[in-house]
Amino acid sequence: MGKVEGGMKCVKYLLFVFNFIFWLMGSFVLAVGLWLRFDPETVSLLSGDKAPDTFFIGVYILIGAGSLVMLVGFFGCCGAVRESQCLLGSFFACLLIIFGSEVAAGVFGFLNKDKIIEDVQNFYTKTYNENNNGTLIMSYQKVLNCCGTIASPCSDPEPDKDCETGIKDFFNSKLYIIGYVGIGIAGVMIIGMIFSMVLCCAIRNSREVI
């Protein structure tokens, strides 16, 4: 009985520490999601009436998952301290949901990378052909330090990069952030689910012995 109780306490404290770290990581994911959503440069490029919103879908998934991770991390800490099977079971179920969301965000970022970039490039090209001196076009050129398109390059040698290439470079970096953060946090969640299962089993076995 003493060994069971000692092992359960060890797992309980480990789970508490893990959930606190988990809560911090949720804060980080939420911060990254909010940064990607409200980054002035990104918003200025996708602020047109017909601008593609596919990029923000992955961002919204990150924001939602980050918020849930913070909430679930808090309840996980409470469940570990109180040794509550009900709270730990709920914690495990929520982890499964968030795990799926994080994987979805990561896979979405990687698999739809080319489509998102192509949509933004097409949007820019169409807007450029309609009015190459418009406010939105000026915003693209300023943010991306580019000019013109591949088919209609600028006569000015500076900058020497067309905006289609600039769009590709810019959104590649943003989408990799979504992918790596989503998949990375999902990997950490697997550890949390293992810990919660072990603690639930330890609690049940301890009560059976008593």
pLDDT digits (tens, 9 = 90+) for 168-183: 999 888 877 777 777 7
pLDDT at 120 over 60: yes
**Alpha carbons 149 and 43: distance in angstroms, whole number:** 21
First CA to last CA across the chain, in angstroms?
8
User: What does the CA dihedral 57, 58, 59, 63 come to, rounded to 10 degrees?
Assistant: 100
Model confidence pLDDT, tens digit, residues 51-108 = 777 788 778 877 887 887 787 777 777 766 666 667 666 767 777 777 776 677 667 7
Q: Cα–Cα distance between 21 and 30 in angstroms, integer?
A: 14
pTM over 0.85: no
Q: Using alpha carbons only, give the angle 77, 79, 84 rounded to the nearest 5 degrees.
A: 165
Residue 101 tokens read as 């969301």
